[in-house]
A and B are shown apart, each in its own frame.
Chain A
Amino acid sequence: MALAATLLHNAYFCGRCCRHKALQPLLGPLLSDSLSKSYSSYRRPGSQPEKKTTWQNVDLSFKKSIEVLKTQLGMLKKETEDHLAGPEGQSLTHYMLEQTRVVWEFRSQEDLNKWVISSDVEIGGKSEVYLKLGRNNQTALLYGTLNTEVPRDGETKYSGYCSMRAKPLVGSFARKKYYDWSNFNSLYLRVRGDGRPWMVNIYTDPYFSHQKDDLYNYFMFTRGGPYWEEIKIPFSKFFLSSRGRVQDDQHPIWLDKISTVGFTIGDKVNGPFQLEIDFIGLLNDRAHTEEFAYETYEKNPPL
């Protein structure tokens, strides 16, 4: 999609450069003086206007490229060493014996930079969301205000959501890397909320773009007290949804290729919210025997 847009841009610019007066009446409808694009130029109220085109951001300095190459080669070397050591960079015995693992914890600004926050500002809403380190740099505080006022663009019906999502892992030379959580069966969250219900989303980045909206969700109900909560959500409880709609054909999540985890709040209540997270980890709960929490019926049973 982006590639097609770039091609059309380039074609348009080439067309502008070699335009002849004789050809203009013939090609008039194809080329025009205004900056016409192949996609609609309506910009949603929340998104920023494009100040710089993407090709103006390119930096062609030689020294910087050498440094980038060195960093990437360093990452590649580390990946090779990890590959030799065993699954996920640790020895096989470690993989066999591990029952818990902390995946994300919030102790410094770098840890915060691994997360992206967003809200309905991108569709023109008015909620605010901020992420900062908590007291003594021991936690992350996600706070803000939810505002369910619907943006007036004629097509949106609901509004009011804020979310925090982990950035996907990137390997050397900008390749995608995935988490392999097949050894575990629950998500372990140490959080302190304010009583509001949150939704935990897991994204397993698919290869083809047909399934890019597939998301596995489940709910996290926080208590709101001054005490920390340890919430264990087994992976068998996650249900599949696509673009927010729960799908009919449900299946348990496959844990061998997970890309990101996110938290969303969208409980239609105007007002402030706060969520303090200590760490996000994984647990292999030996007492949990459920394969999948939802019964799947055959859609066309044989008679």
Chain B
Amino acid sequence: MLSLTLGTMITITSNHWVTAWAGLEINTLAVIPLISKSHHPRAIEAATKYFLTQATASALMLFSSMTNAWSSGQWDITQLTNPPSCLLLTAAIAIKLGLTPFHFWFPEVLQGSSLTTALLLSTAMKFPPTTILLLTSHSLNPTLLSTMAIMSIALGGWMGLNQTQTRKILAFSSISHLGWMTIIITYNPKLTLLTFYLYSLMTTSIFLSMNSTNTLKLSTLMTSWTKAPMLNTTLMLTLLSLAGLPPLTGFLPKWLIIQELTKQEMTTTATTISMLSLLGLFFYLRLTYCSTITLPPNSSNKMKQWSIKKPVNTLTPTL
């Protein structure tokens, strides 16, 4: 855990490529034992997948910084001038974050890890690559980023449609939100940060709520109303917030992003992404409908669920 904080701090405060890379590597290595702590074959599979993808991404990043240093003679992160380096860096960060078309590892890795580790993976581990993206956003290719972002939103919505495992659902929601974050990064990086913070807050509350009732699959989610009805209600609100419904917090970043995109004369993009996030909305609505609005007829018989681990931050979702 300390190594994670250390790694993140190193990357965020770096202005030399090598320190940024070192911070990312420390993060990767620190989180691998966390993923594979339970010694289950799926957890080990998830850890292997995570390690392979992140190592490739780090190697690509180092390569791009080296080609940039070769052509421009300096290692400053904000001075990324060589176009092939920019492309390579975009690809590397996309792999690290889990943007389409490099998202394939993400649902499986989240599925193989425990709920708290999954929380770490989707919020804390996304922070350093986003910072690097922010620092270099003025020199990256906007078309590429927009394409990847639109595909991420599309794919996050489409693949999340009939998942029955909660961690995979949250993985796809993460991919979708990353798309929203990436689409605005070249025009107004502050909005990316805002989206990221709000997304982390909402995801944290969802993961922690799920952790206290140990809901790993949909049927468990649906029978959790007998154990902690208040938690279930606030979980519903948080899910809708993730989906981006207007009076809830989750709508704010989407609204501002759409506004910024229209200011940049990218109305078609804005319309496309709003339409695509409808897919996700459909899914979240269906989840909340089935789990909270219609009370399922039966109760769970798993002993683990009846012990509440801690009464969780049920008020943060309604921020």
Chain A residues at the B interface, C-beta cutoff of 8 Å = 83-88, 92-93, 95-97, 180, 182-183, 204, 206-208, 211, 214, 249, 251, 254, 256-257, 286-289, 291
Contacts and interface: CB of A to CB of B under 8 A. Distances in A.
Interface of B: 38-42, 44-45, 48-49, 108, 111, 158, 161-165, 217-219, 222, 286, 290, 296-298, 301-304
Contacts of B286: 92
A254 B108 CA distance: 13
A258 B38 CA distance: 20
A80 to B, nearest CB: 9
B40 A251 contact: yes
Contacts of A254: 40, 42
Given A96-B290, A207-B45, A287-B301, 11 more contacts: A95-B164, A180-B164, A182-B219, A183-B164, A183-B217, A204-B41, A206-B41, A211-B44, A251-B39, A254-B40, A257-B42
B164 A96 contact: no
B40 A83 contact: no
Contact of A83 (B48, B161, B222): B161
A65 B286 CA distance: 41
Nearest to B296: A96
Given A206-B41, A286-B298, A291 B290 contact: no
B162 A289 contact: no
A86 B162 contact: yes
A214 B41 contact: yes
A84 B161 contact: yes
A96 B222 contact: yes
Contacts of B45: 206-208, 211
A201 to B, nearest CB: 16
Given A93-B290, A96-B219, A96-B222, A182 B301 contact: no
A291 B49 CA distance: 28
A222 to B, nearest CB: 28
A83 B302 CA distance: 29
A11 B42 CA distance: 37
B164 A182 contact: yes
A183 B221 CA distance: 12
20 contacts: A83-B162, A86-B161, A87-B163, A95-B218, A96-B218, A96-B219, A182-B164, A183-B164, A183-B217, A206-B45, A251-B39, A254-B42, A256-B111, A256-B164, A256-B165, A257-B42, A287-B301, A289-B302, A289-B303, A291-B302
A232 to B, nearest CB: 15
A87 B218 CA distance: 10
A32 to B, nearest CB: 39
A208 B219 contact: no
Nearest to B159: A83
Nearest to B223: A96
A273 B301 CA distance: 39
A288 B108 contact: no
Contacts of A88: 162
A204 B42 CA distance: 10
Nearest to B303: A289
Given A256-B164, A289-B301, A183 B219 contact: yes
A207 B44 CA distance: 10
Contacts of B165: 182, 256
A291 B304 contact: yes
B195 to A, nearest CB: 28
A23 B298 CA distance: 79
Contacts of B304: 291
CB-based closest 6 A-B pairs: A87-B162, A182-B217, A87-B164, A211-B41, A289-B301, A86-B162
Contacts of A249: 39
A87 to B, nearest CB: 5
B219 A207 contact: no
Contacts of B219: 96, 182-183
A249 B304 CA distance: 21
Nearest to A183: B219
Given A92-B290, A206-B45, A254-B40, A288 B301 contact: yes
